[in-house]
Amino acid sequence: MLSINLRRQPHLFFILLLLLLLVSTRSGLTQDASTTPTAPVTANDVRDVADELWCPLCSGVRLDACELKACEQMRDVIAEKLTAGEPKETIKDYFVAQYGPQVMGEPPMEGFNWLAWILPVVALIGGGVFVWQRTRKMVVAPDAETEAAPAVSPDAYQTQLDEELKHYD
């Protein structure tokens, strides 16, 4: 009754989940760290950095989209620093040191804020394990019904008949 693939099925899901979680820790646009620009700094270079910072006064507004004076000042500072040849990561670190972690748009992975990241993962995996255990007990426990279940028939007419009967509403 149980075909060969099934044993591997649940594990596949978890491996896929883990893979995807690892692989997507770098989401969004792929950017390399800017090197020292030899050309004058353009508004576009500033926007490139501002794209990855968040307005510290608003909630959820990206720095390049914010029209407040404080944000304009921040963009001016970015322009100055880019002209001085500082790479993007250094500029971002500067703002975190100067203004605080709210410019990063995500909780830093330290102290209490670890909880922000860990809890969803723990809850998801914990819940998944719980569901899987319950399912396993049902699947593995011998049940008079399941042994009587007939094999699948790929007959088209049979399929059609089952479709109609089963999904009549």
**CB contact at 8 A, 34 and 83:** no
Among 23, 36, 38, 39, binds another protein (CB under 8 A): 23
- Taking CA atoms, 12 is separated from 6, 122, 136, in Å, by 10, 19, 15
CB 78, min distance to another protein, A = 11
Closer CB to another protein, residue 32 or residue 164?
Answer: 164
Closer CB to another protein, residue 72 or residue 89?
Answer: 72
Closer CB to another protein, residue 85 or residue 139?
Answer: 139
* # of chain residues touching another protein (CB under 8 A): 98
CB 49, min distance to another protein, A = 11
| Residue 54 CB contacts under 8 Å (≥ 6 apart), including other chains | 60, 61, 62, 63, 102, 103, 104, 105
Residues 26-55 that bind another protein (CB under 8 A): 27-30, 42-44, 46-47, 51, 54
CB 72, min distance to another protein, A = 8
The answer to the question of residue 144 lying near another protein (CB under 8 A) is yes
Closer CB to another protein, residue 47 or residue 87?
Answer: 47
Among 31, 73, 83, 90, binds another protein (CB under 8 A): 73
**CB contact at 8 A, 32 and 38:** no
91-123 burial, b for 16+ CB within 10 Å, e for fewer? bbeebeeeeeeebbeeeeeeeeeeeeeeeeeee
